[in-house]
C-alpha cells in the first residue's frame, strides 16, 4: 500500500462529494419550478373559472373544485418530494463519507499490519478451516474490524482512529461541531423521519454544537 493508494481513495471521495454538490441544486430547482408552475396553474384556473371572487377568496362549482383539488394534490406531492430529496442528500453525503472511511481504514491495516495484529478478535478453529490461506483469514478479520468500527457513532470512529494512529485528529478541527451535527442529523433522517431524539441532543451537546 502506497501514498498513491491513499491519494486515489481521497480523490474518489472528493469526486463523489463534488457530484452531490453539483447535482443537488439542479434537482431542487426542478422541483421548485414544478411547484411554481402548479401554483400558477391554480391561480390562472381560479381567475378564469370562478363566478365570484373577493381578494383571495374564490367561489367555484363542483367540477372546478375537483380540478383545483387535483392540482393541490400535485403540489403536495412535489413538496413531499422536495422534503424527501433534501433529507436524502444529507443521507447520501454521510453514506459517501462512511464508505470513504471504510476504505481508509482498510488501507491503514494493509500498510501497517501491526495495527491489525493488536486486534483482540478471535476466530474458532472450524471458521479458520473454511479459508484457503492465512491471507484470506487476515482479509476476513480486516473486514470484520471495519464493520465493527463503522457500527460505532462517528464520534467513536474518530476516537478509534486517534487511538490507533496516535494522532489528535480533533485538535484544531474547527468544523468538528458542524461535522457531528450533520452526521447526527443524518441518523435522524434515516431512522426517525427527522424528529429530534435524546441521542441527537446528547451527542451534539458533547460536541459543543
34-83 pLDDT, tens digit each: 999 999 999 999 989 988 887 778 898 999 999 999 999 999 999 999 99
Per-residue confidence (pLDDT) for residue 115, from 0 to 100: 77
Residue 183 CB neighbour total at 10 angstroms: 21
Only one residue has cell 367555484, namely 60
Q: Give the closest residue to 92 by CA, choosing from 27, 5, 143, 144.
A: 27
Cell of 11: 480523490
Please report which residue ranges of the chain form alpha helices under DSSP H.
3-49, 62-111, 113-117, 125-128, 134-151, 154-165, 176-191, 198-206
DSSP code at position 1: -
Residue extents of the structural domains in the chain: 1-91
Rg, C-alpha atoms of the chain: 26
Cβ atoms of 183 and 158 within 8 Å: the answer is no
DSSP-assigned states of every residue in 34-66:
HHHHHHHHHHHHHHHH-SEEETTEEE--HHHHH
Cβ atoms of 96 and 16 within 8 Å: the answer is yes
What's this model's pTM, rounded to 2 decimal places?
0.81
Per-residue confidence (pLDDT) for residue 120, from 0 to 100: 64
Q: Phi and psi (nearest 5°) for 42? A: -65, -50
Segments of the chain with pLDDT less than 70: 1-3, 117-125
Q: Give the closest residue to 78 by CA, choosing from 32, 144, 19, 134.
A: 32
58 DSSP β-pair partners: 53
Amino acid at each position: 500500500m502506497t501514498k498513491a493508494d491513499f491519494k486515489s481513495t481521497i480523490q474518489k471521495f472528493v469526486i463523489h462529494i463534488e457530484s452531490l454538490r453539483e447535482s443537488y441544486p439542479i434537482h431542487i430547482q426542478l422541483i421548485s419550478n414544478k411547484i411554481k408552475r402548479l401554483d400558477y396553474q391554480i391561480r390562472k384556473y381560479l381567475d378564469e373559472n370562478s363566478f365570484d371572487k373577493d381578494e383571495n377568496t374564490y367561489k367555484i362549482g363542483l367540477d372546478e373544485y375537483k380540478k383545483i383539488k387535483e392540482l393541490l394534490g400535485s403540489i403536495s406531492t412535489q413538496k413531499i418530494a422536495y422534503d424527501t430529496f433534501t433529507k436524502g442528500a444529507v443521507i447520501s453525503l454521510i453514506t459517501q463519507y462512511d464508505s470513504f472511511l471504510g476504505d481508509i481504514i482498510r488501507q491503514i491495516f494493509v500498510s501497517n499490519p501491526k495495527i491489525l495484529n493488536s486486534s483482540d478478535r478471535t476466530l474458532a478453529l472450524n471458521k479458520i478451516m473454511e479459508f484457503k490461506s492465512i491471507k484470506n483469514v487476515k482479509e476476513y478479520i480486516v473486514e470484520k474490524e471495519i464493520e465493527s468500527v463503522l457500527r460505532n457513532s462517528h464520534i467513536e470512529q474518530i476516537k478509534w482512529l486517534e487511538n490507533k494512529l496516535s494522532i489528535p485528529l480533533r485538535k484544531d478541527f474547527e468544523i468538528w461541531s458542524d461535522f457531528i451535527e450533520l452526521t447526527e442529523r443524518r441518523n435522524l433522517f434515516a431512522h426517525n423521519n427527522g424528529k429530534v431524539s435524546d441521542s441527537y441532543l446528547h451527542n451534539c451537546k458533547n460536541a459543543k454544537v
